[in-house]
Amino acid sequence: MPVPHYRQQLLPGFRLALGCALVYLSLIVVLPLTGLAIKASQLSLAEFWQTASGERALASYRVTFGASLLAATINCFFGLIVAWILVRYSFPGKRLIDALVDLPFALPTAVAGITLATLYAENGWIGRYLEPLGLKVAFTPLGIVVALTFVSLPFVVRTLQPVLEDIEPEVEEAAASLGASRFQTFVRVLLPTILPALLTGFTLALSRSVGEYGSVIFIAGNMPLISEITPLLIISKLEQYDVVGATALATVMLAISFVLLLAVNALQWWTAHRDGRDGAGTGQP
């Protein structure tokens, strides 16, 4: 909103507030991250490459991304269903369940980690039913998927909920009155409308999962090349006093974080852009 310049001057404290915010953010966030970049730039390219593309590192990227993608996909599917039933239907305990969705944000990751490891162990509440089926979850890559599904569960639900709430009933009624079946209405009318939000939720879930550490290490088994995630590899490099290796891997992780953050921003720009020319545009077959 364009505000005439003189009105801005009316309110006090701009310099003080911006100054405080910039100093805090610089000292706590920006300068430390710049420190990592400086450290990384001091490594020779060969040193950097040797760690960042070593066999163990490559395997850890594969495990981290594979499990994160799988978890985000699971959350897209079930998150859509959960958001849908929370917005569209009424059932007993709905408000309680709505509040429960945020549990992964409130429950410390270490607690989630040991609990999931116990539940999915051979003799655990859930593991004992999976064992006869030949499904081993705890201490395998599958356990990583379970932990990441837990920690990133709220993202898709919470990005979809407001979008689903905002859909005008007229759009669906129009589709129905033109002879579309409920399924056609969903695929041709609703899905295109919620797609940006769904993708945003997916990317947020992915971004959270890729960096996750606390909940994974207890259930993963942490075998190098098989079930070792990149953040854990950074920790084990540190424990061996291999600061160079840890720095190289952390730089890769940081770059990935930036890419995902940019992707989220781009997706949001897309969402806003669509909203801008809303109306006829979204209902288009």
Partner 1 sequence: MIGGPPPRRANAEPRWLRHLLIGTGLGFLALFLAIPLIAVFSEALAAGWGRYLEALVDPDAQSAIRLTLIIAISVLPMNILFGIAAAWAIARFDFPGKNLLVTLIDLPFAVSPVVVGLVFLLIFGAQGIFGPWLAANDIKVVFALPGMIIVTMFITAPFVARELIPLMQAQGREEEEAALSLGASGWQMFRRVTLPNIRWGLLYGVILANARAMGEFGAVSVVSGHIRGQTNTLPLHVEILYNEYNAIGAFASASVLALLAVVTLIAKTAVEWRIRRETRVLSESPAQERPVASASRDMGASAGSLRSNPSGEWP
Q: Interface residues for partner 1 in 183-212 (CB under 8 A)? A: 185, 200, 204, 207, 210-212
- One-letter amino acid identity for 191? L
Round to whole Å and give the CA distance between 3 and 50: 54
- How many helical (H) and strand (E) elements, i.e. helices and strands, does the chain have? 18, 0
Among 54, 130, 131, 158, binds partner 1 (CB under 8 A): 158
Among 46, 177, 276, 277, binds partner 1 (CB under 8 A): 177
- The number of residues that bind partner 1 (CB under 8 A) is 104
Minimum CB separation of residue 269 from partner 1 in Å reads 9
Site for partner 1 in 95-134 (CB under 8 A): 95, 97, 99-112, 114-116, 118-119, 125-126
Among 144, 247, 282, 283, binds partner 1 (CB under 8 A): 247
Determine the Cα angle at 202 with ends 193 and 265, to 5°: 80
Per DSSP, the residues of 134-189 read T---TTSHHHHHHHHHHHTHHHHHHHHHHHHHHS-HHHHHHHHHTT--HHHHIIII
- Report helix, strand or coil for 196: helix
Sign (positive or negative) of CA dihedral 26, 34, 65, 147: negative
Among 127, 141, 143, 231, binds partner 1 (CB under 8 A): 231
- Report helix, strand or coil for 277: coil
Q: Which is nearer to partner 1, 72 or 250 (CB)?
A: 250
Minimum CB separation of residue 33 from partner 1 in Å reads 6
Minimum CB separation of residue 142 from partner 1 in Å reads 14
Tell me the per-residue interface mask from 52 to 71 with partner 1, x by CB under 8 A, - otherwise: --------------------
